[in-house]
Chains A and B, each alone.
Chain A
Amino acid sequence: MKAYADVLPFPGAPLAGPSAAERIEVAAEPADEASLCTAALRGEVSAWNALIQKHNHRVVVALLARGLRVDRAKDIAQEAWMRLVEQQRIGRLDRLQLPGLAIAQATFLALESARREASTRRHEDVDEPAIAAALRDPRDNAESRLLTEERVARAVHVLSRCSPSARRVFRLAYGGEGLSHTEVAQRVGLSLQRVRQILCEVRAKLRVELEGEKEE
């Protein structure tokens, strides 16, 4: 992803070599995800670097979606990757499914951090249920889940009315494979710019359904 000029390299990895932009292009090559994960599980630094370059942005966006500030989100994402690498080093990582695993690790760290901060501010014994309630995602209740389900269903319907090529681009970009936009472009035979243009068009259509009426 090209979101950052300072996307973190593998901890301890040398920074010498190609520029950040060149490294991104290397990471975006069709080197398949499975072989990268296999190599990372063997402890290969270059594979970890490629995976971090590819998936870090989604980890950060997932944290932003939970309401973290961008600087904090980037710090926690970095820590999540370091934890994963450490778990691999000590032999506690036997599978690597990304970006899901990194997002789960980062979310856990964000909650832990919030608990610590809440505890420090109170200067008293932690009432776990109260903190848990305070930390719970405000959207995470039955009523709003139902609402979200309804909106998702409507968005799915709107998506079904988009062109077949737009649907394919959207599903590749947001499906579970964790493809970068460059990889999506290679799969569908379009330019990266065209893929992003299509995504923006589809986003605009679905945004109305997912965001609903603006609150007054």
Chain B
Amino acid sequence: MSTQHATSAELELYVLGALDGERAQRVEVHCSACDACAAALAGEARLETAFEKVAVRSVQTVPRPARAAAYGAAGLLAMAAAVGLWMGRLPIASGAGEGTAAASHHPMDDGAILDARNDALDGG
């Protein structure tokens, strides 16, 4: 075997398939007989297979900023709808906030809000 150990750069390029034939063959011959370099090559190969997991997972994962923005917008709409209802300044079936407000409705809350709203109307 070649006595010169493979460099980490060579091993990385080998698993990437980026070494030319002659250098790739030298790495193969050496790693077939050198325990240390064989272990290092196995480590690079494991990293390569881990990258496949990362790539797949990164496609499945919704980017955090987009998700946070979506949650933020929904939260603001829900808050605006709740404040509007409490203050009696929005019609019960208003447009944009309807879906988000409906999702968090509690029957007792609805009754209390409506009573307060009716009292205010009666009193005014």
Which residues of A are interface residues toward B (Cβ below 8 A)?
A: 1-6, 20-21, 57, 61-62, 64-65, 67, 69-71, 74, 139, 148, 151-153, 155-157, 159-160, 167, 170-171, 173-176, 180-181, 196, 199-200, 203, 206-207, 210-211
Contact = CB atoms under 8 A, between A and B. Distances in A.
A156 B41 contact: no
A57 B58 contact: no
A171 B49 contact: no
Contact of B56 (A65, A151, A176, A200): A176
Contacts of A2: 17-21, 24
Interface in B32-64: 32, 38, 41-59, 61, 63-64
Interface stretch (B8-16, B91-99, B116-124): B8-16
> Could you tell me the dominant secondary structure of chain A's interface residues?
helix
Nearest to A139: B46
Contact of A64 (B19, B41, B58, B59): B41
Interface in B71-124: none
A175 B59 contact: yes
Nearest to A20: B21
Nearest to B65: A160
12 contacts: A1-B17, A4-B24, A4-B25, A70-B31, A71-B32, A139-B46, A159-B54, A160-B64, A174-B55, A181-B17, A199-B16, A203-B51
A175 B51 CA distance: 9
B57 A156 contact: yes
Contacts of A171: 55, 58-59
Closest 4 CB pairs of A and B: A5-B21, A174-B55, A64-B45, A1-B17
Contacts of B44: 64
B11 to A, nearest CB: 10
B13 to A, nearest CB: 8
Given A4-B21, A160-B58, A206 B41 contact: no
Given A2-B24, A64-B15, A175-B56, A210 B32 contact: no
B55 A152 contact: no
A206 B54 contact: yes
Contacts of B49: 61-62, 65
